[in-house]
Structure 1
Amino acid sequence: MMSSIKIFSLLSVLSLLFSCASATKQQGSADITIFSFNDFHGNLQAEQPVPYMAPVHDAHGHAGAPTAAGGYAYFASMLKQRRAAVGPSILVGAGDLMGASPIASAMLRDEPVIAALNQLGLSVTALGNHEFDAGGAALQAKLAGVCPANGCAFPGFSGAKYDYIAANVINKSDGQTWVKPYVIRQVGEFKVAFIGALTSDTPNLVAGDGVKDLQFEEEANTINRYVPEIQRQGVAAIVLLIHEGASYQGAANDASYACEGLQGPIIAISKKLDKAISLVVSGHTHQGYTCKIDGRLLVQARSYGAYLTETTLTIDRSSQQVIKAVASNHLIEQSKLSADPEAQQLLTQVASLTAMVRTRPVTRLSAALTRASEPGQFDSSLGNVIADAQLKFAKSVGNADFAMMNAGGIRSDLALGKQGQPAEINYGDIYAVQPFGNTLISMRLNGEQILALLQQQWQGGSKAAPKKLFVSDGFSYRWKFGAEPANMLQDVRLHGQPLDIQKQYTVVVNSFLADGGDGFTVFRQGTERRVLGRDLEAFEHYMHAQGADLTGLKTDRVQRLD
């Protein structure tokens, strides 16, 4: 029998070896995974109104044919696959996860969207401007699961199990942040901080009084203000979730992280950020990219659940610092995934609750109506048709000279069927085009004010990519590419007659524009305002009456001069 002394000695040796192995392990590094997405906009149903066609690039960055992508059930399936393939992970968002939603979500007040995000295990997301579509008070009530007097729209709804964060949204009344500025989460063996922010341009992007009691501070300095406080809490990594982004024409994954041609506000913001922030998860611009700005990783997952971003942070255990960051955007390609059964069950319930209204027939469409402009053109077929619909509606209830429609208010195309066959368009389809519930407003503006409005299309943005106002039939002008805004407009006419800068005209726009939305502040000067009715009502009436006889299909109202 082994003596007690020998047993004690053996145990001591084993204990020493175990301690040495543990010390070696602790001196190494470990990976954690940050899954992220943005601008989901309540697109639960993959087919509403048609599948989102995501741009696809090959390994060399060359563009190929778009593919049907996104949809909650397919997104959930990909997320489960990737979670099973990695170690410790967390799912986060960069804003606009709801709002400007298709009819199936919007009819149920986006309650099923929150339920779906709970089901996904979302931990935290930044606020986006579209979260404020119904106003701040309505948002907070919804997140808390507080139902209206007539009850919740989605059975069993109980609010959000995840956090919304934003460091730069401040209550004007007391100077305090409107929601938490940041949260700290345990991811595996490490504490990770997530700071939230959204574009300071939000007051120009939200209709009516939705944010009148809130102040949106400059992003970078406000974010940096919280870094020392966070660092004192012993975190190993700091991640920024921000609803602001960049435009980009390249592939969703860039192996070099160079992202040549990337442009937008997030670049300047990133360059000002504290070096302690290791990762910037961006949104707002509906682009897909994996880039590095001054060595810091910047990602975005396009929109509508078409991509899932997977970022791996390698953290040194000894220093508790991020020593490496890599990212990849996974395409949620419907043809290569199976719908997740649990997610599909939620979708079936949503479809059943909304079917009667959603499937109401409107018209039969023989030509596609799209938001995009033809090469070398300014206006679009869908933008023109909406402006025509608003003018016709205004004339049916009073008087109007012309109508204008903002490009940002058009959220979906009206496509044809398979192989270009005519499509049966229902109420759900047109709702997806104009989901905001705006009213139509007529107002009086003189010719000089109208010229100033048109010039505002090129203010605060790129000369090559202006903030477009589509105009109704009979209104036309030409614009000179490369000129300054004040010298851009030429030959502005209404029904063939030059615009008279002294004359008063009756203009019809949606309520968002009437309040100066999208930076078109001249609309606030309009007088003799009159509420005419709902924009979607005007669109439905026009589409039902006109059928295939749509004057807006010819996109030559605004012509470019080189």
Structure 2
Amino acid sequence: MRRRRRTYRLVAAAAGLATVGALAAALPGTATAGPSKGKPGHASSRYQDVQLLSFNDLHGNLEPPSGSSGRVTEHQEDGTTKTIDAGGVEYLATHLRNARDGHKYSITAAGGDMVGASPLISGLFHDEPTIEALNKLDLDVTSVGNHEFDEGAKELARLQNGGCHPTAGCYTDKKFEGADFPYLAANVLDEKTGRPILKPYWVWKKKDVKVGFIGVTLEDTPGVVSAEGVKGLKFKDEAETINKYAKVLQRQGVKSIVALIHEGGAPASQTYNYDCDAPGAGDGISGPIVDIAKNITPSVDALVTGHTHAAYVCTIPDPSGKPRMVTSAASFGRLYTDTTLTYDRWTGDIARTSVKSANHVVTRTVPKATDMTELISRWNTLAAPIGNRAIGHISADIPNAGTESPMGDLIADAQLAYGRQLDPGTDLALMNPGGVRAGLTYAAKGTEGDGVVTYAEGFTVQPFSNTVNLQDFTGAQLIKILQEQVSGSNAAAPKILLPSAGLTYTLDLTKTGADRIVVDSVRLNGAAVDPAATYRVATNSFLAGGGDGITTLGQGTGDLVGTDDLAALEQYLTANSSAADPIEPPAANRITIVQ
């Protein structure tokens, strides 16, 4: 495909631009959009609509996601809901290209996590296929997300700049060229230099219209990424960083500013088209992005967010009390957001009173983009010898849903079984919910037999290449681990660990903090956990380092490092299932939930 002509230019942090004139400074920054005779010296009208297309959290989902990961819920006028199949880069490309049609001023931006935790077609090749697809999508700019650090800053730099993988080499006869769009990492600093590891901001420009973008990821990235992935890096406050670079852009004469923030919130409704600003809607959105948005300078005109995989188009008041658009397009390429920014040529700013935005479904009823079909076919051909190998059989869908997901329980059982191969004294296993990226679908593809689990499907479930680690904890520490799921940094958004068979307890959500764990209910194989006894626990390496804010998991003793977690799952499925006797979904009844 021939790429559209680029009309932007990079603005380095040290570059200087001429400031706007006295007339522009004297005019208000939020005029009402409408026709005008134009500013002297300008043949065009005063106001110019700029289309901003955005999406977030693609996670390398080039092929249409399966199961609930490939559906969105739509609110109907009669109050009912409708489920729609959505996603797939072949369809995303068509939707974006159709949306751009007729818009001379159009920008495509993303809110991070374009790669990482990716299905086999991308993850097997260190996400080079996704970068290639994003180039073909004509993505203009994106912030980094926490998953861009799964393989560390050096690998992120390679995705930006190109070059063969340092250990895997080149996958084709063509050198990987890297992203032809900038990754922005304003709040990610090198500990030694104190400078951002990538560009902090970027300016899109066409004729006399220019829009600045500042990109940040969540400050708590070290809490959700392995220690090795963020080694040597420092993550700063999101709002403070955006405010800092908004001033830099303004000094360079850039008054229209959009923040790309890989942090998000939770809408009051799970429907993608819920009107969270409607009368009677109450608090349309909650979560970290609310406080961040309220502390970001009013000079920033719109926020494109992500991380929570939620869908919303809401306004949140800026520090001056004026409403400001905040958007998120769910995840996996199921939605895209179309925002109209009305640019005022007299002031160089956005007329915020006229900003309009809406999420749109990436339906699968449009023609596939042929260049994306070719890309997927080419990489699938390379992946097929590995991906098509059968590793097990299931009797029904094993979903990744709910506080205690059946898929998470199955992984915990697999890690317990593997742990007992390493050490027969292993007592239990715990799995983090964020490490379970998908469920297993009984008939995921028409080319496979019903219930067959392929390596590619297993990879989609567990793509991180964590190791299975064994550690010793006292019973008192085990109780504390369970309490840390729901207290401290996890009090507002609990990270409920998935337990292996034999570990049971009650989670009382009517209480707060650590009290949500009913201590007397914690049992292992029916017996109360003894605070003074020692228990051998299997986890993945992310948790073994105290990940997800469960710091006590990083204080175990007697460490023993095993194979990668996907290999443990494969071994378990192979040993415990067959076509004649497929494995059944776990009942997900190990945690009793009181609400």
Task: Provide the residue aligned with 1:425 in structure 2.
Answer: 453
In 1, the alpha carbon distance for the partners of 2:232 and 2:490 equals: 30
Give deviations 1:344-372, integer Å, cap 9, x for gaps: 11111011110111110122221211111
Which ranges of structure 1 fall in alignment gaps of 5 or more residues? 1-18
Give deviations 1:235-256, integer Å, cap 9, x for gaps: 2410000100001224323456
List aligned pairs for 1:23-42, cutoff 5 A: 26=44, 28-42=46-60
Higher CA-based Rg: 1
Once the 2 structures are TM-superposed, how far is the Cα of residue 481 of structure 1 from its aligned partner? 2.1
Q: 1:209 to 1:61 in 2, by over 3 A?
A: farther
In 2, the alpha carbon distance for the partners of 1:224 and 1:434 equals: 37
Task: Provide the residue aligned with 2:348 in structure 1.
Answer: 320
2:153 matches 1:130 = no
Is 1:90–1:187's contact at 8 Å kept on the other side of the alignment?
no
In 2, the alpha carbon distance for the partners of 1:269 and 1:244 equals: 9
Identity of aligned residues (%): 36
Return the match for 1:471 from 473, 491, 499: 499
2:334 matches 1:311 = no
Give deviations 1:485-521, integer Å, cap 9, x for gaps: 3322221111111000011110000001001111111
Once the 2 structures are TM-superposed, how far is the Cα of residue 34 of structure 1 from its aligned partner? 0.9
In 2, the alpha carbon distance for the partners of 1:186 and 1:390 equals: 52
Task: Provide the residue aligned with 1:290 in structure 2.
Answer: 313
Task: Provide the residue aligned with 1:387 in structure 2.
Answer: 412
In 1, the alpha carbon distance for the partners of 2:82 and 2:386 equals: 34
Between 486-495 and 37-46, the greater mean CA deviation after superposition: 486-495
| Matched AA of 1:84 | D
Task: Provide the residue aligned with 1:232 in structure 2.
Answer: 251
In 2, the alpha carbon distance for the partners of 1:20 and 1:40 equals: 41
Is 1:385–1:551's contact at 8 Å kept on the other side of the alignment?
no
Task: Provide the residue aligned with 1:448 in structure 2.
Answer: 476
Task: Provide the residue aligned with 1:360 in structure 2.
Answer: 389
| Matched AA of 1:403 | A
In 2, the alpha carbon distance for the partners of 1:496 and 1:51 equals: 34
Is 1:463–1:482's contact at 8 Å kept on the other side of the alignment?
no
In 2, the alpha carbon distance for the partners of 1:200 and 1:219 equals: 6
Task: Provide the residue aligned with 1:435 in structure 2.
Answer: 463
Once the 2 structures are TM-superposed, how far is the Cα of residue 463 of structure 1 from its aligned partner? 6.0
Task: Provide the residue aligned with 2:288 in structure 1.
Answer: 265
Task: Provide the residue aligned with 1:13 in structure 2.
Answer: none
Which ranges of structure 2 fall in alignment gaps of 5 or more residues? 1-36, 318-322
Once the 2 structures are TM-superposed, how far is the Cα of residue 54 of structure 1 from its aligned partner? 2.2
Task: Provide the residue aligned with 1:43 in structure 2.
Answer: 61
Return the match for 1:252 from 266, 269, 272: 272
2:296 matches 1:279 = no
If the length of structure 2 is used for normalisation, what is the TM-score? 0.86
Is 2:152–2:229's contact at 8 Å kept on the other side of the alignment?
yes
2:446 matches 1:416 = no
Between 288-297 and 314-323, the greater mean CA deviation after superposition: 314-323
Between 158-167 and 539-548, the greater mean CA deviation after superposition: 539-548
Return the match for 1:72 from 83, 86, 89: 89
Is 1:441–1:532's contact at 8 Å kept on the other side of the alignment?
yes
Alignment coverage as a number of residue pairs: 538
| Matched AA of 1:472 | S
Is 1:386–1:539's contact at 8 Å kept on the other side of the alignment?
yes
Is 2:483–2:516's contact at 8 Å kept on the other side of the alignment?
yes
Return the match for 2:230 from 211, 234, 239: 211
Is 2:395–2:585's contact at 8 Å kept on the other side of the alignment?
no
Say which SS state the counterpart of residue 243 (structure 2) adopts.
Answer: helix
Return the match for 1:163 from 174, 177, 182: 182
In 1, the alpha carbon distance for the partners of 2:495 and 2:334 equals: 25
Say which SS state the counterpart of residue 176 (structure 1) adopts.
Answer: coil
Once the 2 structures are TM-superposed, how far is the Cα of residue 142 of structure 1 from its aligned partner? 3.0
Task: Provide the residue aligned with 2:164 in structure 1.
Answer: 147
| Matched AA of 1:225 | K
Task: Provide the residue aligned with 2:215 in structure 1.
Answer: 196
In 2, the alpha carbon distance for the partners of 1:523 and 1:418 equals: 35
Once the 2 structures are TM-superposed, how far is the Cα of residue 61 of structure 1 from its aligned partner? 8.6
Return the match for 2:542 from 497, 508, 512: 512
